[in-house]
Structure 1
Amino acid sequence: MDALKLMALDAEDLAIVSAHVQDAVLKVSGLVFEPRRQQLSVIVNRFVWEKAEGRRRSYERRRAALVFKRVRAVRSAGIDREKPEDVLSLLAATFTPHGEGPEGTVNLAFSGGATMALDVECIEVQLADTGGAWETSSLPRHQA
């Protein structure tokens, strides 16, 4: 099996993880913050960009877990926790440092203008495919 497993420990690593989860879709219920564990887990169906080169008739998606560790606080806008079945499309994950130390904010941008800000002690992110792939005929497209 060619399951993807990545870890990010700095902003450059996070950019690589972000590229692999661009256009991942998830339900609001797939966002789980555990304050005691200082962890935000996100269950996504990620588009497999690494196999999407060239024109094809079919592409694939995979179920994956995206886990942010050392999370002190989470803020969101445009995400209604009262609607757990709403679907979000993750566009990017970026990092904004707070001064010279490793702490900062991981910013998650979703389609439709929804956002999440994760205040973190440092960047510690894991991405792992958790299941097999399935075929999709849809290639995500973005307006210019």
Structure 2
Amino acid sequence: MANEKDQGTPLRLMAQDADDLTIVASALESAVTRPDAMTWRRGERRFAVLFNRFRWETVRGARRPKTMFERIQSGLVIDGVLSVSRQGFAPGGAEPVLELLTIAVEQTTAPAAQVTLVFAGGALVRLDVECIEAVLSDRGKPWTTPRKPDHGLKAE
């Protein structure tokens, strides 16, 4: 297990436009969650999801190949959400485990947008937002894992 000084600073990213959300998406690439870890508070216009995030920042640029990697629990909160739709899974259940591939943004009437969480296997969560306002923040301490996400892509 990594000791405290190896754990680094917890990640906290804010997104206020599509470019910012691209950075959040890269930090969340291959993060896993379940439908029961997602909630929409309609009255507060807030959508939140808890992920087990792979800590890419501890791998990229490493001087030597790592044999152990890290995951950490991370929360993504998106405010200003007007509506939520899901595809490919039922809300509220523990199954299936969903692996995030990316977050897509389609600008509608500025500053409004449609934010789509795209999961492996074709599952989606589509959020209509009045503006892009999101925060990703790590929670707790990381834990080790021997597995690095691999989508079967070979480097050329």
TM-score range relative to shorter protein? over 0.9
In structure 2, runs of 5+ residues without a counterpart are 1-7
Out of 97, 101, 106, the residue aligned to residue 91 of structure 1 is 101
Q: Distance in 1 between matches of 2:21 and 2:71?
A: 20
Q: Distance in 2 between matches of 1:57 and 1:27?
A: 27
**Between 52-61 and 132-141, the greater mean CA deviation after superposition:** 52-61
Shift in Å at residue 82 of structure 1?
Answer: 5.7
Q: Does 1:44 align with 2:51?
A: yes
Shift in Å at residue 27 of structure 1?
Answer: 1.4
Number of the residue aligned with 2:116: 107
Identity %: 36
Q: Distance in 1 between matches of 2:105 and 2:92?
A: 28
Q: Distance in 1 between matches of 2:98 and 2:11?
A: 22
Q: Does 1:81 align with 2:88?
A: no
Number of the residue aligned with 1:141: 150
RMSD: 1.2
Q: Distance in 2 between matches of 1:47 and 1:82?
A: 23
Name the structure with the higher strand share.
Answer: 1
TM-score by length of 2: 0.87
In structure 1, runs of 5+ residues without a counterpart are none
List 4+ stretches of structure 1 deviating above 6 A: none
Q: Distance in 2 between matches of 1:118 and 1:62?
A: 25
TM-score by length of 1: 0.94
Aligned 1:11-90 pairs, distance under 5 A: 11-53=18-60, 54=62, 55-81=65-91, 83-90=93-100
Amino acid at match of 2:105: F
Alignment length (residue pairs)? 143
Number of the residue aligned with 1:122: 131
Amino acid at match of 1:140: P
